[in-house]
Amino acid sequence: EILGIFSKFHKIPQSIKILFYFLSFSIKKRNEVNYNIEEKERLSNSLQSMGTTFIKLGQFLATRPDIIGEDLSKQLETLQDKLPPFSLSEAKNIIRKDLGDQMFNSIINMSEPVAAASIAQVHKAQINDDGVIKDVAIKILRPEIKKIFNEEIDALMLFAYLIESVIKKTKRLRLVEVTFLLKEITNHEMDLRFEAAAANEYAENTKNDVGFKVPNIYWNFTSENVMTLDWVEGNSIRETDILQKQNIDTKQIAKDIIQHFLRHAVRDGFFHADMHEGNLFVDNEGNIVPVDFGIMGRLDKYNKKYLAEILYGFIKRDYVKVAEVHFQAGLVPETASKEEFAQALRSVGEPIFGQNIKDISGGNLLSQLFEITEKFNMATQTQLLLLQKTMVVVEGVARKLYPDTNIWNVSKPILENWLESLKGPKATITSAIDTSGEILKRIPDLPDFMDKANHALQLIAEGKLNLTNTSNNSLEIEKLRLKSFRNNILISILGVVILSFVVF
């Protein structure tokens, strides 16, 4: 079913069809396909029926129009991360096992699940926190979810590796690296202590952001499989009619959502990477309250600077500047023509600026940038995937709240302030002080450092020093394991073929 829908958007190589054919053998009875529902709904239903890993994969691929195309990407946007809940008694057993009897007995009035997704579900409850009764949300991981997910994602990684081995052009897309990123992201989601720490860091970063409030984490009631945080009294941001009846300015909320997201990305380098409508609430005071901190994005100081300059360059329609930033960031090979790349950027930017102002989308702009990657042999920048996905989602949320939201006018002051902070006198002085401090700290080590440098240069001259990058050891080990497994599969298939000739 899935392969059939994919083939309508892309020509699938025969080798991949054959591989799917062998993988599709099953002793189970096949589910009947309902052709009366829309194709995108059939695709979503098929992926949901395959479980957690394929739901996450579908959501992830929806952010990658450069891999699967714009049409198929839009089909996958409808995929909902929902599964039937597990029982309240099972949830209580997990809490008791993880937190112990004392903490468990401090939880009262625990409800049936109020939300159930592929990885965890949420219950409303009350806790006795040092004699104070507080309303909380308790998030609990599904039983055995880590084992199930890792077994399935390993199979997917092998499949990605086989595709890269068979179709050489796909190496540019880094399918194994993308799958590895999905594995790392989702495994972080599956330890709720990491999510609690992310929420705590996010709260610290945003504590002075007016109109934005992150729920408090209760660490005594949090473990690997259980996370407890403040219950949000308010309404989902999707309930526009209710918000308007409460005299909440949805136009201002739409503006604030975009500005908060950009501020967190370029100021803090740490942003909520799953800001869909179901994860955003407006409380009774009118604050935007995010929930579900399992997927958070990070940008280092260089990527923050490049992101701000690229988006601001498009706002100013300075395509040469945007091209220069891409080359400085190493996003485009040095052998490519800067002038031709600027021309390609212009082909993306100008049609956007020809639209009505309310239709201009920064998220779509980032999506279209991916479309020119193949021509200039640009490798996938995995650290920017979550950012691009979230920006598209945030814009969609803002436009539903207020369709005439002017994306660029809203974004401009945040980007201008950030770039000014990088280039202003204060930033120059701070940078000089930091650099001087680092130099002064290292002066006592200078003689030893010079001896080591001299020894290293001697080893390089003699060809005894291996300078290969070891920062991605985990990924390289994974690739070696996949290569070995692939070779074993090929040997096994060859053995079956030879045996069939002998027998038949």
3-state secondary structure of 219: helix
What's the CA gap between 363 and 341, in Å, rounded? 20
Calculate the alpha carbon distances from 220 to 8, 89, 102 in Å. 52, 21, 10
Active site residues: 274
What's the CA gap between 112 and 88, in Å, rounded? 6
Question: How many other C-beta atoms lie within 10 A of the C-beta of residue 194?
Answer: 17
What's the CA gap between 114 and 162, in Å, rounded? 41
Report yes or no: 86 and 120 within 8 Å, Cβ to Cβ.
Answer: no
Size (the chain), residues: 504
CA dihedral over 129, 132, 133, 134, signed as positive or negative: negative
How many contiguous H segments (helices) and E segments (strands) does the chain have?
21, 10
Question: How many other C-beta atoms lie within 10 A of the C-beta of residue 383?
Answer: 13
Calculate the alpha carbon distances from 4 to 64, 70, 86, 402 in Å. 20, 17, 33, 38
What's the CA gap between 156 and 152, in Å, rounded? 6
Q: Which residue has the tokens 């579908």?
A: 58
Q: Which residue has the tokens 């054919």?
A: 21
Q: Which residue has the tokens 């903490």?
A: 103
CA neighbor of 279 nearest in space, from 405, 122, 388: 122
Token pair of 165, please?
Answer: 């081995």
Residues 6+ apart with CB under 8 A from 76: 40, 43, 44, 47, 58, 59, 61, 62, 68
What's the CA gap between 493 and 22, in Å, rounded? 11
Question: How many other C-beta atoms lie within 10 A of the C-beta of residue 321?
Answer: 17
Token pair of 482, please?
Answer: 């996949």
How would you write 107-140 as a 3-class SS string?
Answer: EECCCCEEEECCCEEEEEEEEEECCEEEEEEEEE
Strand 120-129 to 107-108 pairing = antiparallel
What's the CA gap between 15 and 300, in Å, rounded? 40
**DSSP designation for 220:** G
What's the CA gap between 45 and 35, in Å, rounded? 12
State the Cα torsion 222-227-229-234 to the nearest 10°. -170
